Chains A and B, each alone.
Chain A
Amino acid sequence: MDAVSLIPAPDAIPVHWFWLHLLLTLTTFLHFVAMNIMLGTGFIAFSTPFWRGNDVLPLNSHIAKVLPYSIAFTINLGVAPLLFLQVLYGQFLYTSSILMATYWLSIVGLLIISYYAAYIYRLVDEKTGLARLYIGASILLLLVVSFLFSNNISIMQMPEVWSTYFSDRTGWLLNFSDAALVPRYLHFIASAIAIGGLAIALYFEIRQRRGAKDGDEWIKLGCNWFTGATIINFGFGFWFLGALPTVAYDPATIGGKIFFILVVGSVATIIPAVASAQTGRIIPATAWALGTVLLMTLARDVLRLTYLKPYFSLPDLPYVPQYSSFVVFLLAFAGGIFLVGWMLKTVWNAKKEVA
């Protein structure tokens, strides 16, 4: 069946697509950062004891304390991009979600279990032995959830596979026909582990700046994870690139050109990030690495547009301007940022007083 005839008609957007895309990219970036911290630190906490034994338990207590926060923020910061993605690409996203409906809905249950497992790991005193099952389960489920997300985006971008619906309408579709699915997923996971390592280093660096004496060991451990995972990720990255259709980076098209520049840019920023981390300059390393994550987020946006090009481009969306609610949102957003800033500052200062 002809894929074009299956694509649902989109509803009208109330502001120019540019604004919605700006919000999409921005919130996706924030979501990725939170997700990387969550998945990366959790993965490191789970796996390091396998070869370092109980030495690393002090580190694990810290990670266990932060993990419920990072899960909460990952989910929260995931809600916003999912919203804007639906506004701009709903006709693709709803469809792909339905084709994998059973898996897609299972995400909710998996996340609830994973979240409570993380809380239990936080609340138990003994972080070895059986307790490791909790963090193991939590991380394993998060890895499954990530895979399901990759799968959804893969189906969403490839209307050419949608007609498989007619052979299974009960929502059990996984898109292994997409050669880029697995490398794409692994690329994301390795990135999370790298950024998770860097987050550990940053956490202890900040503690030291505030007067803590411990942490040298963990800064080093974090930086090593960052470096190791990044090197491996070059491999996954090239595999991913190789699996993409060539139009993705074809310099003859605008999209291809931009994508190419973004990829080169992210290589150009991750190298100084690794160099800084290896020489113990954590703050610059973090700044460079965040730059890489941002460039990769943008690359992903461009890639999606390339995939969908035969079927859709953003200016095609029906547009019926109604800006007033947008203004209200911007005010609420500014107010929210102010409040969050005030609250964090208050807590930060109070800790100083106590310490």
Chain B
Amino acid sequence: MNYPVWQLEFLGGGFLIAVIAIIHVYIAQFAVGGGLFLVLTEHLGRRNNDPGIIDYVRRHTKFFLLLTMVFGALTGVGIWFTISLLNPSATSVLIHTFVFAWSTEWTFFVVEIVSLFIYYYTFDTLSERKHLIMGWIYFGAAWMSLFVINGIIDFMLTPGAWVENNNFWSGFFNPTFWPALFFRTFFSIMIAGLFGFLTASFLKDKKLRTTMLRYSAKWLLVPFVLFLAASWWYRASLPPHIEEIIFQKMPQLRPFITLFMACSPLLILGGLIMAIRMPSGLSRSMAAVMLLIGLMYFGAFEFLREGGRRPYIIYDYMYSNTILKKDLDQVAEAGVLQQAKWIEHKRITPDNLGAAGRELFNVLCLSCHSIGGPLNDIRQQVRMSSPEELNLIFATMGKERPYMPPFAGNEFEKQVLIKFLNTNIRR
């Protein structure tokens, strides 16, 4: 209502953000668990006095550095850019409420960069003990940055008492903070195992390859049990009305729940198979497949978390289309075109019906619906029902259709928007 709307059509409906976020979060979690993998594996190599393992750690670090520092860090910036373009109002709330959480996160990020560069370039120049300390500093900083970002991400789904008191700490240590922290920590360790498979499968020495593949399998399988427990705890700590909506009232989330369920045994099975001695070509392809399953697994979870937030962007506070819950009635009374700032056709006339309808659509619907794109395409949604049925759909938004905010415009705007949908979108 406050900001101009970037008219993104094909990639809208959450597609752009989903692609960037899933890739980023996967790599960012690898940056945490993978840090632990580096130091503990180095410890192992030093303890066993095994130069083969140390050499493996060194190579793995190079891969780790190139992936997390470049791709991981930049896709992180990418998410930030994307959300501020797609939902500046919500981004502004997150930035203003948590400015010092973000900046604390940033200091950890500085420590991460410095320690990781040092860790990578000083395998030979630092004493064993100091080199390991560098690795631990990296992991500590990486985990702390997970700690901080976790508070902000969960805030969007379960802002808890913040909605009433606006207190930083209520928002940060929100109802799902702790279970999500454990959930993400265990998952990050599992991802370290998945990436361990990949680099280990490239080892030339057969014996070492088998050792490291089995070692990585432990990284995947041991935390798995804890991870499942944390998922259960996570679900249990969702406020009941949110839990009900996600698991019962949103049919469109079903496939993701199923995907998540299906991937669990696949990952366990795959982890067990990886521990069997195999030719290196085969273990390489297996490792790639496992990484992909892991990505789908986590992608499914992120879809649930994001989708489960509908119709809100910040639960119980701001709808996806940036209208505040508390303002809804007042907006509906005064009219969206009057209340929103970036509107060209404040007054509807017979000549601008189409253009005004388009503006209403931009402000109220574009945040969740693409036009002709792969995610939640409004063309398909509209074609599923007859022109007359749209009236009913509008009347049930926010009620029988809990995944959409109540229609925020006045009666006249509703007719203009429906006409726009029936003429310009339904083609």
Task: Give residues in A with beta carbon < 8 Å to B.
Answer: 1, 5-14, 20, 23, 69, 72-73, 75-76, 79-80, 82-84, 86-87, 90-91, 94-95, 97-99, 101, 104-105, 107-108, 111-112, 115-116, 119, 162, 165-166, 169-171, 320, 322, 324-326, 328-329, 332-333, 335-336, 339-340, 343-344, 346-347, 350-351, 354
Contact = CB atoms under 8 A, between A and B. Distances in A.
A98 B92 CA distance: 14
A343 B82 contact: no
Nearest to A333: B107
Main secondary structure of the interface of B (DSSP, over half): helix
B110 A336 contact: yes
A327 B127 CA distance: 36
Contacts of B2: 8-9, 91
B113 A72 contact: yes
Contact of B85 (A87, A98, A115): A98
B96 A350 contact: no
A344 B96 contact: no
Interface of B: 2-8, 66, 69-71, 73-75, 77-78, 80-82, 84-85, 88-89, 91-93, 95-104, 106-111, 113-115, 117-118, 122, 125-127, 130, 134, 137, 141, 166-169, 172, 341-342, 344, 362
A76 B166 contact: no
Contact of A325 (B6, B93, B101, B125): B101
A347 B96 CA distance: 38
A15 to B, nearest CB: 8
B6 A171 contact: yes
Nearest to B169: A324
Given A169-B7, A328-B100, A97 B130 contact: no
Contacts of B100: 14, 325-326, 328-329
Contacts, number: 188
Nearest to B73: A75
Given A97-B88, A115-B74, A333-B104, 14 more contacts: A8-B3, A76-B73, A79-B106, A86-B84, A98-B85, A108-B74, A171-B8, A328-B100, A329-B107, A336-B110, A339-B137, A339-B141, A340-B110, A350-B127
A328 B101 CA distance: 9
A101 B77 contact: no
Contacts of A354: 125
B167 A322 contact: yes
Nearest to B70: A115
A124 to B, nearest CB: 15
Nearest to A96: B4
B81 A329 contact: no
B38 to A, nearest CB: 16
Given A166-B344, A333-B107, A343-B118, A12 B96 contact: yes
B6 A329 contact: no
Contacts of B82: 105
Contacts of A119: 66, 70
B6 A340 contact: no
Contact of B3 (A75, A95, A104, A112): A95
28 contacts: A14-B97, A73-B113, A75-B77, A76-B113, A82-B80, A83-B95, A84-B99, A86-B92, A87-B99, A94-B91, A94-B92, A97-B81, A97-B85, A104-B81, A105-B81, A105-B85, A115-B74, A116-B70, A119-B66, A169-B362, A170-B6, A170-B8, A171-B85, A325-B168, A326-B100, A329-B100, A333-B103, A346-B126
A322 B2 CA distance: 25
A350 B126 contact: yes
A98 B125 contact: no
